Structure 1
Amino acid sequence: MTDDNGGAGAVFAVFALLSVMAVGGGAAVLPETHALVVERHHWMTADAFRDAYGLGQVVPGPNMLMVMVIGHQVAGLAGALAAIAGFFGPSSAIAWGAGRLWNRFAGSPWRAAVERGLAPLVVGLMAAGTIAVARTAIDGAATVAIAVAVFAGVLGLRRLNPALLVLAAGVVGLGLGLGG
């Protein structure tokens, strides 16, 4: 599904924009990623987006490697490379520069105030990302039960790797015929 296939350049531009907006990590921009990829450019369906996100959660490495799947969908290998470069390049450069500057303000009341102000922002953005994915994944009693069980497992079994809970939920979903 690539109605608006602008090629690797368009993929790079979209993910470079998302990169600089990703305060707090990739999950913070999931709603905007969904809006751009699914609703604006029509590069994939909501279900395919959800599946790419799920894949990004279980493969080794950063969970936002899902951008590579999106880029590949749009423009093959060049699109996958453009998505990775766009999403990780600008934010890495900004983080490197900000980190060097940040160290100069150690002990400053200004620095402490910025840190306190950013914490709730990041939590809110991550919650918005979770809601965006949940809207495409939770569509009935069985999926609600699986989501609640995984959430409870994450809270109650803190020493258990969350990827194992995701894998278990996938197996249960497959067993229930939810593999669409």
Structure 2
Amino acid sequence: MHEEAMLLARDENVRQILEEVCRLTGMGFAAVARVTEDRWIACQVIDQIQFGMNPGDELGVATTICDDIRKTSQLVVINDATEETEWRSHPTPTLYGFKSYISVPIILSDASFFGTLCAIDPERRDLRGSRIVPIMENFSSRIAQIIERHLAVLAHTL
């Protein structure tokens, strides 16, 4: 599975998408993560807030909101975790030091869950009710296509 995650580490198209996520949202960290029942692995990262994450790094999956997304295949949007009742007492924003968060599931064409396209920032960001959510969903679909191309190449080389 680590090999699957690392397929995207140097993909320039994914990098451009992550840069655009940061630009559009104003957030300082964006990543594509491979998320399974027992692992969260960073595939590619833009880190302008010194979060300290690099491709191949792992987080405890149970400590992530991405794990909830894996279970539900539903996106999560948080403008400010300190102001939103649902997230105010949730341990993840405090653990990782963010107020704003957006994460969209990456679903492959066979309907399987690959992981997430996510972004965080230590400051409040207005993400809900804007054009950002549909753009993030579009980016997620584009990333799914990129992943499938890489997986097809990998399958032919094995």
Q: What is the TM-score normalised by the length of structure 2?
A: 0.31
Q: What is the TM-score normalised by the length of structure 1?
A: 0.28
Greater share of helix:
1
Q: Which protein shows a greater Rg?
A: 1
Higher relative contact order (CA 8 A, sep 6+): 1
